[in-house]
Chains A and B, each alone.
Chain A
Amino acid sequence: MSTTNYIGQATSRVDGPAKVSGAATYSAEVHLPNLAYGYVVSSPIARGKITKIHADEVLALPGVIQVFSHENVPSVAWLDKKHQDQVAPGGSPFRALQSPEIQFSQQPVAMVMAESFELARYAASLLRIEYEQEAHETNLETQRAKGYEPGKGKTGYQPPPPPRGNPDKAWEQAAHRMEAEYVHGTQHHNPMELFSTTVDWHGEGKITAYDKTQGVFNVKNYLVGVFGLNKDDVRVVNHFVGGGFGSGLRPQYSVYLAVLAALELRRPVRLTLTRAQMFSFGHRPQPLQYVKLGTNPDGSLAALQHHVLHETSHFEEYTENIVTWSGMLYQCDNVKLGYQVAPLDVFTPLDMRAPGAASGSIALEIAMDEMAYEAGIDPLELRLRSYAERDQNQDKPFSSKKLRDCYHQGAAKFGWEKRTMAPGSMREGNMLVGWGVGGGVWDATQKKSAAKASITADGKLTVLSGSGENGAGTYTIMTQIAAETLGLPLEAVTYQLGDTDQPEAPLQGGSWTAASVGTAVQSVCQDLAGKILKLAQKQADSPLQDAKFEDVEFLNGQIRLRADHSQSVVIRDVLQSSGEAKIEADGSTTPNMPKQSQYSLHSHNVVFVEVKVDEDLGTVHVTRVVNAIAAGRILNQKTARSQVLGSVVWGIGMALMEETVIDHKFGRYMNHNFAEYHVPVNADIRDIDVIFVDEEDDIVNPLGVKGIGEVGMLGVTAAVANAIYHATGKRVRDLPITIDKLL
């Protein structure tokens, strides 16, 4: 018999049919009459200033409406505070077209508006702009001495904890030790969907912006602040996102320019960036990481030091948590963590999937592998000998931590016990076989979220919460939670998101959407259930007459007594006979801070990787991956698995090919297209096993969910690098590990 217990099931995406049939509308696909089209012109230089813009030549073309530049756009809010969105780092956010100054290559310097996209693009290609070039600096290597400890400007950034124990002495006296520097390439998020905004203009200062973003409220508040608009006059909508990975956390210059144009031209506007321009804003910075580890004679960690330097821009101080995780993933009493940034002539970096942790775990987990070989201990065993039962950074117990189960179940599935320790000791013909391990830790966060639920007499439930949907499965899991809470079939539930007219939800990032919005959805649905129960009890001869809310359950379209299932009513009958057309409940949920603050709230994982390396040619194939994750309750086995599969692909790409290359002569990212910025293709990916270990946790939030958007990619990159070492004996510390590094 079918049941309305949906949480945890492998439910297919409820928005899948709309996406594959083209019915899902993305921000560049909103059809409006009288649209004007924008096309951004980008700076060819990295530093200097604009001396002349030959706009007249372009304005003469029939159909060209305007050429916006610093010469003619109205000024916007003066205070930096007005430009700082929810996740802005400290500093002065970039303001496009407000000044002739060039601060980074590909900076937007003009926007051509025309009656068609094609015309705007053509006109933009003809626009001549003269520059006065100044010397730029984009090479972090030469700026090492400029590194400094950043302030605590950015939401979510935690400066590393102070040193504990005596890390220098402990390292000097360690039985075995290692030290090394690690670096990986700059990455750009590059979701498939280009940044795009369609703005509807409703009259003086009134707009609706259909914007590619991971947070409609963040964009709304930004627009209100920057353009001095009335809060009630700005609506931001985004029902579908074609990939975000963090690129849509901050409002991009595309939404700013599109709105600016709509307000100036007093008509609807569409602006879409090009693929090359997708390399013109935030990116995962390239960190220079230094790690020193030492072990006791028994193989447990005696000392751990991890220091990082990465770039920020000259106008903002970007920070991310790279080293903090190293102080809590393993038990170690002598720890020193350092974190510095140095400014370069680039755009401000931007959070990218598992920001900080993805980078930090590469260095720490390759270092752990090096340590294992120094100490002559199996790399998995080394990790078990320093298993952290407590978060030493915060000196708190974990709310739950089933990483040991991940180690055991992952190793068993992978067949780790058959591994031979010596590099190059496992081979098939002329293919060297390598097995590597790596892992990581990520925050389990709950944020304040609001939701609203309403049910009509025909038993149809609608739930609203203005979160984002990056493709993670938000529509689906919220539908599951709502349906299960009210005992309704999935088909009777519609979940809507991505609109500032809806109750406010947080940005979709940090792996917190399931925990935050899920809790709010569950809560308002419970409130609604309480109201329905009251209606049921008003009915004459109701079998639930004296039941308390805790005494009943909502299942299969019925409310029934838990103690006596024969005592039940049909929910739809209750609604129909109540005479009410619609019943509603709304509210918001916040984390239980008194309870949560006593614990360290984190998800963990471990990844096992097999590579095969051609011993003559250096070609690498990742043939098997097992990723075992402890992330609390899994709401949907199918969408959760898909998220982790995507994470593993990210990790493989980061290990083997993904890198934005900057030519310092021009201060410019040169491989700004999908032909030359390599991410894995299907042919690069083979077997990926995902294990979610059982992990109950009633502290993180009422649902017990920790989120899996980021944790799944941790450890993958290091495990690939470690597997390559095991196969070849070559320790590559400069990622991605391309063919030239293995010759």
Chain B
Amino acid sequence: MNSFTFHRATGVDDAVRETTRHTGAAYIGGGTNLIDLMKENVMRPSYLVSVAKLPLAAIEALPDGGLRLGAMATNADTAWHEDVKSRYPLLNQAILAGASPQLRNAATNGGNLMQRTRCLYFYDLATPCNKREPGTGCSAIGGFNRIHAIFGASDQCIATHPSDMCVALAALAPTVRVSGPDGERSIAFDDFHRLPGDQPEKDNNLRPGELIISLDLPAKGFSKNFSYLKLRDRQSYAFALISVAAGLELDGTTITDARLALGGVAHKPWRDQEAEQLLIGQPATVETFARVAAQVVSTAVGQGSNDFKIELARRAVVRALKQAAEGSQQATDVFQNSNP
């Protein structure tokens, strides 16, 4: 870990100013990912601006019927918030599928968007990595890439975004409010993260110095028919091999609106709007889901040790949509996970 200066921001303006003014500056919220990366020398910020104490932790109703999630609200407080539980249970389920209670108690919503890939090569300074050191090459291509992308990868990078929360957010489509040197702006969630292309060092479309202020959820929460299905190597404390966030609106058995996003498959949370359009107007049957799932994976490309993800993603999409249609929870958990 490098030595650094620590500044506790007194306000959003102060935070933005300090971060813009110092080269090598970085925001720190809960620090659950950044500190790890610093310990591994993957990131070496020289100036840390703590935004954890800024008054951005509120979760409050919006005039348009939506819900504002403060950037500094913890993942745990967000998941267990009454409005989230009742109106956006998909988000509740996705957050609780991730990390551990200790981490969720510390991690913030803004930080969740900002967490970096778990690519083994990104984390190990002994191996080349374009995301960590642009131009050095991608070790995961042709390497151990079981956890890597099947959608939207480039010949520069095949890393995935590790978040569970963001997969549900991709389906729920909030706007991300940010504040920067040029003032505030809003970014559609789907435009927040980016694909690697030839600039894999860039995870998202934030401009220099910009700070996430809140996530503004629209009114529609798919609270009746939803599913967050996470498939991983163990039952807790493991990143998704494949995850699926599904939300449906039904009129009888006919799908009137649909959301579908996948995690563990791309450099960004992978929302598939074509698949959503295919679902709308169709009967909520396994046949429909199978057809849509086949369409979802039709553009998938395997990298060798992650080839299985294509078939697993297809099956997971069918299961998640089925569960959403039935209004049941993640039924693969035979242990009946009890949440507090």
- A binding-site residues for B, Cβ under 8 Å: 44-45, 105, 118, 121-122, 125, 431, 612, 614, 616-619, 621, 623, 656-657, 661, 663, 665-666, 668, 670-673, 675-676, 678, 680-684, 686, 738-740, 743
Contact = CB atoms under 8 A, between A and B. Distances in A.
A122 B3 contact: yes
Interface in B114-135: 118, 120-121, 123-127
A143 B120 CA distance: 26
Interface in B289-325: 308-309, 311-312, 315-316, 318-319
Nearest to A670: B120
Interface in B147-200: 147
Interface in B2-43: 2-3, 41
B131 to A, nearest CB: 16
Contact of A657 (B1, B146, B233): B233
A683 B316 contact: no
Interface string B234-277: 11111101000000000000000000000000000000000000
A127 to B, nearest CB: 11
Contacts of B120: 670-671, 676
A663 B332 contact: no
B233 A739 contact: yes
Contact of B238 (A125, A612, A678): A678
B76 interface: no
Given A612-B334, A676-B120, A739-B231, A682 B126 contact: no
Contacts of B238: 675, 678
Contacts of B236: 681-684
Interface of B: 1-3, 41, 118, 120-121, 123-127, 139, 142-144, 146-147, 231, 233-239, 241, 308-309, 311-312, 315-316, 318-319, 332, 334-335, 337
Contacts of B239: 675
Given A617-B312, A617-B319, A686 B335 contact: yes
A621 B335 contact: yes
Contacts of B311: 743
A44 B41 CA distance: 14
Contacts of A122: 1-3
Nearest to B312: A743
B234 A680 contact: yes
Contact of A738 (B127, B142, B233): B233
Contacts of B319: 616-617
Contacts of A666: 126-127, 139
7 contacts: A44-B125, A618-B312, A657-B233, A657-B234, A665-B143, A671-B120, A682-B236
B233 A678 contact: yes
B139 A678 contact: no
A614 B241 CA distance: 16
Contacts of B334: 431, 612, 621, 623
Nearest to A121: B1
Given A675-B239, A683-B236, 8 more contacts: A125-B41, A616-B315, A668-B126, A675-B118, A676-B120, A680-B234, A684-B236, A740-B308
Given A681-B235, A739-B233, A614 B332 contact: yes
Contacts of B335: 621, 623, 683, 686
7 tightest A-B contacts by CB? A44-B126, A683-B235, A740-B308, A683-B236, A670-B120, A684-B235, A681-B236
Contacts of B2: 122, 125
B124 to A, nearest CB: 7
B3 to A, nearest CB: 6
Majority SS of interface residues in chain B? Answer: loop
B234 A678 contact: yes
A618 B309 CA distance: 12
A65 B69 CA distance: 49
B332 A617 contact: yes
B318 A743 contact: no
A191 B211 CA distance: 40
Contacts of A743: 308, 311-312, 315
Contacts of A45: 126
Nearest to B236: A683
Contacts of B332: 614, 617, 619
A35 B144 CA distance: 41
A681 B100 CA distance: 11
A434 to B, nearest CB: 13
A645 to B, nearest CB: 17
B124 A681 contact: no
A426 to B, nearest CB: 14
A663 B125 CA distance: 14
Contacts of A623: 334-335
A601 to B, nearest CB: 37
A739 B312 contact: yes
Looking at A618, A656, A670, the one whose CB has the most chain B CB atoms below 10 A away is A670
Given A105-B126, A740-B312, A683 B143 contact: no
Contacts of A672: 124
B126 A617 contact: no
Nearest to A653: B234
A663 B1 contact: no
A668 B142 CA distance: 15
A431 B332 CA distance: 8
B1 A118 contact: yes
Nearest to A614: B332
A649 B109 CA distance: 34
B21 to A, nearest CB: 24
A616 B318 contact: yes
Nearest to B333: A621
Contacts of B234: 656-657, 678, 680-681, 683-684
Contact of B316 (A617, A676, A738): A617
A663 B235 contact: no
Nearest to B310: A743
A116 to B, nearest CB: 11
Contacts of A661: 144
A653 to B, nearest CB: 9
Contacts of B143: 663, 665, 670
B240 to A, nearest CB: 11
A668 B127 contact: yes
Nearest to B311: A743
A673 to B, nearest CB: 8
A590 to B, nearest CB: 45
A424 to B, nearest CB: 17
Given A617-B231, A617-B332, A739-B231, A663 B139 contact: yes
Given A125-B41, A614-B332, A675-B118, A619 B308 contact: no
Contacts of A738: 233
Contacts of B127: 44, 663, 666, 668, 670
A621 B231 CA distance: 12
